[in-house]
Amino acid sequence: MEWIASQILYEMSGRRFGPCPAEVRPCRKRCGDTPIWVGSGVMQPYIQGGKWFNDYGSCGCKTRDSCSCVDMCEVQLQAPVASITEVLIDGAVVDPADYRVDSPALLVAQNGRCWPACQDMTKPAGEPGTFVVRYELGLPVPVHGVMAVSILVAELIKACEGDDSCRLPSNWVRITRQGVTVERERNSTNDRTGIYEIDALFLDLVNPERLSQPARVYSPDLPRSRQQVWP
């Protein structure tokens, strides 16, 4: 029941609290120093100097400053970053003194180091020729968040036992022959629990705009990370 309560409040609070383990494999859009140019075909967009242009041919590295073909000394991670667990290059752990995290979630190489511009995506993470970043994603749960989870757990237990003192809306819980299924209220624009201690003392403070997830800013100029989702 604690896991269910935590998941409900995780979503209601804008999915910003954790921390949860994350693993990414940073990569550039293209590897290689030789520019690609094909003189025929449909018009293709490319970016140079922070501006988009249309041109005929494929968008490779028009120059070293376009299409992310620059030395990769910083990598954009998903924010917020709680901590870096480890950075692996060719299976070897990088000294934490050789990198830092700058806002917003930029993993910056330092002490004269830059990150590998390319890696072999056909190999499993941690093998020679790979570049892996493992980190904790999400903000630590605040004290009033822990309190909110505890209260919600107690109310969910009451709902399952048919306790009339349960303060949750009745349509949060439906009982089936297979057991008890706990659900969030359907078709609700309120997106709150109806419990003062949870709504006013936690959710309204950390997510007053009732966002479904943290806001993100994307830049086509920054190298993106590649994340394995299965298996």
d(CA 40, CA 57) in angstroms, rounded, equals 6
Residue 139 pLDDT: 86
CA trace torsion 179, 184, 188, 192 (10° rounding) = 140
pTM: 0.59
Residue 220 pLDDT: 56
Name the strands in the sheet holding 20-27, side by side, starting at the edge strand that comes first in the sequence.
Answer: 92-93, 81-89, 131-137, 20-27, 224-226
Q: What is the pLDDT of residues 180-216, one digit of tens each?
A: 555 555 545 467 888 999 999 999 999 888 887 766 6
Count of C-beta atoms within a 10 Å radius of residue 25: 18
List the structure tokens of 4. Answer: 């269910």
CA trace torsion 74, 78, 80, 81 (10° rounding) = -60
Residue of higher predicted confidence among 217 and 38: 217
Contact 174, 185 (CB under 8 A): no
- Nearest C-alpha neighbor of 78 from the set 215, 210, 203: 215
Bridge partner list, 27: 224
Q: What is the pLDDT of residues 64-102, one digit of tens each?
A: 443 344 467 888 888 888 999 999 999 999 999 999 998
Residue 30 pLDDT: 54
Work out the average pLDDT over 51-62. 39
What share of the chain has pLDDT > 70, as a percent? 64
Count of C-beta atoms within a 10 Å radius of residue 13: 21
List the structure tokens of 174. Answer: 């439906």
d(CA 118, CA 89) in angstroms, rounded, equals 11
The alpha helices in the chain, defined as continuous H runs, are: 2-12, 143-161, 196-198, 204-206
